Structures are given as structure tokens and as C-alpha cells.
């Protein structure tokens, strides 16, 4: 366990980096946005990000960050809950959507961080109080996120309690590349997903229906190459997302036990470095292949931040949940979900 001053925010606040892990898996986490700044597998960094805080401030990609209070999109930036309509920031202005928690989401907050070591491994406990009315959401939410590295496992445990009913849906927006982040696009890497259904989306990337993946390019039930041809084919849904940027519903009984919970085997993402298996207890995962990266804002070490240069596997509830009466955290109830990335 090690910590050091990573950089300073423009207003002078310190951005501290914390390192946890072992010889096989090592993570560097920032108190700013709870960002996973580095994720080393056998010494090779597999995550997109920056050497200086400025990169995170100017790029719009949510690199490695914690996302909340509501990850993904909310249509027309509004929802009605308990008879009250709430207007949120339409920070994805081109589509008039609320995206990833609004103007100042959890990715832009300074979190309190407490390191912890036990016989299982090394952990960081991040906490944040998200006040009532912040970003116009109802209720004060006490949020706790635990990052753990134990053997070949890297996990993120999300917990929260609100004093009023509120939409709540957290994820992490890590850009992963299983050739190593310096290893070019993901076109030679494979993805397998235990999902029988997906959300088909409209032009605003808002789900319109839950449909079977059968016969579509989204049938990843057997491993598929994430080739350029697959992601830029003529399929209407692929065209809408400019490639893979879709929500899949995890449907499998294959599971593992982790920190006392049963997590479903959601996906396997594999490249030259090996396979990364994702286990989770959220109902869905958004797969986003970095379609909107276009060579701007180079990553650490001057690496090209190119289109399809990484894959995000965002465990979550389906997008726009509050407008279907889903993903509501009731006052006093506990939000408790985990994403486990296992290197195999
Ligand atoms: C993803 C989302 C993409 C894009 C990205 C941020 O979660 O699915 O459409 O908005 O975040 O650049």
C-alpha cells in the first residue's frame, strides 16, 4: 500500500493517488472521481487514462471514473417520482439527455479514502455524501465504494443509502484493453457475454425495447471477435451506437461467490494478455467500445486515444430506468452491488 500526491486541481485541492495490489494485479486509484488511473496485470497497464489531472478535466470520456448518481442516460433529462417531476441537467446536449449524473457527477468529486489491509488482500474504502437537491436529485445519499485487489481479482463494491426515494445506479467507466492500453485497437480481441436479451435504442441511444439477441450482432453467447467489420456493419442498432454501445441483460446461472455474495458470470473479454472475466449482481452491463474517441486528448505517455482503442464493461441497471419506474433506491433501503474483474 502506497500513496502520494498525484497532482493538484486548478482550485488547489490535492489529488492523491493510492496503490493497492500484488505482483500480478496492481491498481492506482485517485481520490478525484475515484478514478482507476492504472490497472496493471503482470506489470502491463490495461486501462486508459492520464498522467496529469488536466487530462481528466478536459477530455469528456469519464476515464476510469466512478459514475453516479445515475449512470448512463435519462431521456429528456427528466423523470417523475412519487408524483413530482424532476428536471435534470441535459449535459448530453446534442441528444437532450442527462448523462452519467449531470454537470458535476461522482466522477468529478473528491472522495474520502481510507486504506485497509486484511488477509484477503488490499482495499480502499471511498466515501461521499451526495446532498439532497444536488444535480436536482431528491435525497441525501451516503455512498461507499470499496476497491479490492485479492490475488488475481479486482473488485468494486458499491453501497449507498438515501433518506428519500431517488434514482440510483452506479458504475465505473474503465476503458480496458486486453493487449495492454498501448496495444492498439480491440479489433483482435474477443468478447463473450452471457446475455439473451439487449436494449434496442432509438436515435438518442435511449432504450425502446428489450429484445432477444438471437440473429443480431449482439449475440455474444459464444466468443466473438470485436472486429472493425462487426462494429461498423450495416446493422441498424450498431449504426445508432456508431459501434458497440449497448445494454445487455445478463441471463445465466453460472456464478461465483465473492465477499459473501453470489455474482453471475457476465462476460469474458480476452486479448494477448489473457482473459478478464466479469462477474456481477447488477441485472445489466453496458458495453461501450470507445466509439466516440477520435484521437483527441492522448492518453498517458502520449498514447493515441483512438476509436475502439478500449472496451468499457459498465455493470448497471438498464439506461433510462427512472422513466420505466426502475432503478429507484427507496428511502432507508440499501443499494449493494458488486463488479468483480477476475484475470484468468
Ligand atoms: C458510455 C456511453 C457512451 C458515451 C460514453 C462517454 O457509458 O454508453 O454512449 O456517452 O459513456 O463518452
Output the CA 288–ligand 1 centroid distance in Å. Answer: 6
- Looking from the CA of residue 319, the nearest atom of ligand 1 is 8
Cβ-based neighbour number of residue 199 at 10 Å: 22
Beta carbon of 314 within 6 Å of any ligand 1 atom: yes
26-71 pLDDT, tens per residue? 999 999 999 999 999 999 999 999 999 999 999 989 999 999 999 9
CA distances from 25 to 45, 88, 152, 246, 285 (A): 10, 39, 6, 28, 23
Q: Where are the alpha helices (DSSP H) in the chain?
A: 53-58, 228-231, 236-240
Beta carbon of 154 within 6 Å of any ligand 1 atom: no
Output the CA 164–ligand 1 centroid distance in Å. Answer: 28
Closest residue by Cα to residue 67 from 29, 42, 101: 101
Using the structure block, give the residue that is written with the C-alpha cell 428511502. 331
Output the CA 205–ligand 1 centroid distance in Å. Answer: 10
> What does DSSP assign to residue 333?
P
Residues contacting 205, CB < 8 A, separation 6+: 73, 95, 97, 240, 241, 245, 319
Beta carbon of 241 within 6 Å of any ligand 1 atom: no
Output the CA 60–ligand 1 centroid distance in Å. Answer: 9
Beta carbon of 61 within 6 Å of any ligand 1 atom: yes
Model pTM? 0.98
Q: What is the pLDDT of residue 1?
A: 84
Question: Which CATH entry fits the domain spanning 2-343: 3.40.710.10, 1.10.357.10, 3.90.226.10, 2.70.98.10?
Answer: 2.70.98.10
Residues contacting 290, CB < 8 A, separation 6+: 48, 61, 175, 186, 306, 307, 308, 309, 310, 311, 312
- Sign of the torsion angle spanned by Cα atoms 55, 60, 61, 63: positive
CA distance 186 to 183: 8
Beta carbon of 286 within 6 Å of any ligand 1 atom: yes
Beta carbon of 148 within 6 Å of any ligand 1 atom: no
Using the structure block, give the residue that is written with the C-alpha cell 454501445. 245
CA distances from 299 to 37, 61, 105, 295 (A): 11, 11, 22, 9
Q: Do the beta carbons of residue 141 and residue 160 sit within 8 Å?
A: yes
Q: Do the beta carbons of residue 228 and residue 187 sit within 8 Å?
A: yes
- Per-position pLDDT tens, the chain of length 344: 899 999 999 999 999 999 999 999 999 999 999 999 999 999 999 999 999 999 999 998 999 999 999 999 999 999 999 999 999 999 999 999 999 999 999 999 999 999 999 988 999 999 999 999 999 999 999 999 999 999 999 999 999 999 999 999 999 999 999 999 999 999 999 999 999 999 999 999 999 999 999 999 999 999 999 999 999 999 999 999 999 999 999 999 999 999 999 999 999 999 999 999 999 999 999 999 999 999 999 999 999 999 999 999 999 999 999 999 999 999 999 999 999 999 98
CA distance 40 to 23: 9
Helix (H, G, I), strand (E, B) or coil at 60: coil
- Looking from the CA of residue 62, the nearest atom of ligand 1 is 6
The separation between CA 162 and the C-alpha centre of its own chain, rounded to angstroms, equals 21
Active site residues: 173, 314
User: What residue segments make up the domains of the chain, in order of their start?
Assistant: 2-343
Amino acid at each position: 500500500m502506497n500513496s502520494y500526491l498525484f497532482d493538484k486541481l486548478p482550485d488547489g485541492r490535492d489529488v492523491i493517488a493510492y496503490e493497492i495490489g500484488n505482483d500480478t494485479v496492481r491498481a492506482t486509484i485517485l481520490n478525484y472521481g475515484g478514478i482507476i488511473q492504472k490497472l496493471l496485470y503482470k506489470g502491463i497497464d490495461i486501462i486508459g487514462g492520464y498522467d496529469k489531472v488536466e487530462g481528466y478535466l478536459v477530455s469528456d470520456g469519464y476515464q476510469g471514473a466512478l459514475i453516479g448518481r445515475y449512470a448512463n442516460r435519462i431521456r429528456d433529462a427528466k423523470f417523475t417520482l412519487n408524483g413530482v417531476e424532476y428536471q435534470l441537467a441535459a449535459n448530453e446536449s446534442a441528444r437532450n439527455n442527462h448523462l452519467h449524473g449531470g454537470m458535476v457527477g461522482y466522477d468529478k468529486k473528491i472522495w474520502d479514502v481510507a486504506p485497509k489491509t486484511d488477509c484477503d488482500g488490499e482495499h480502499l474504502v471511498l466515501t461521499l455524501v451526495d446532498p439532497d437537491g444536488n444535480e436536482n436529485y431528491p435525497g441525501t445519499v451516503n455512498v461507499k465504494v470499496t476497491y479490492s485487489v485479492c490475488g488475481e481479482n479486482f473488485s468494486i463494491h458499491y453501497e449507498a443509502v438515501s433518506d428519500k426515494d431517488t434514482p440510483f445506479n452506479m458504475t465505473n467507466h474503465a476503458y480496458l484493453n486486453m493487449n495492454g492500453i498501448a496495444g492498439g485497437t480491440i479489433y483482435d480481441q474477443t468478447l463473450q457475454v452471457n446475455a439473451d436479451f439487449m436494449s434496442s435504442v432509438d436515435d438518442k441511444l435511449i432504450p425502446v425495447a428489450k429484445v432477444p439477441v438471437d440473429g443480431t450482432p449482439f449475440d455474444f453467447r459464444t466468443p466473438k471477435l470485436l472486429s472493425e467489420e462487426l462494429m461498423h456493419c450495416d446493422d441498424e442498432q450498431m449504426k445508432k451506437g456508431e459501434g458497440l454501445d449497448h445494454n445487455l441483460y445478463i441471463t445465466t446461472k453460472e456464478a461465483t461467490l465473492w465477499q459473501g455474495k453470489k455474482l453471475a458470470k457476465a462476460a469474458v473479454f480476452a486479448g494477448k494478455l489473457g482473459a478478464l472475466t466479469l462477474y456481477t449482481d447488477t441485472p445489466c452491463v453496458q458495453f461501450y467500445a470507445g466509439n466516440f474517441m477520435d484521437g483527441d486528448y492522448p492518453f498517458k505517455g502520449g498514447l493515441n486515444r483512438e476509436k475502439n482503442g478500449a472496451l468499457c464493461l459498465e455493470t448497471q441497471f438498464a439506461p433510462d430506468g427512472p422513466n420505466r419506474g426502475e432503478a429507484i433506491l427507496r428511502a432507508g433501503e440499501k443499494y449493494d452491488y458488486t463488479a468483480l474483474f477476475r484475470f484468468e
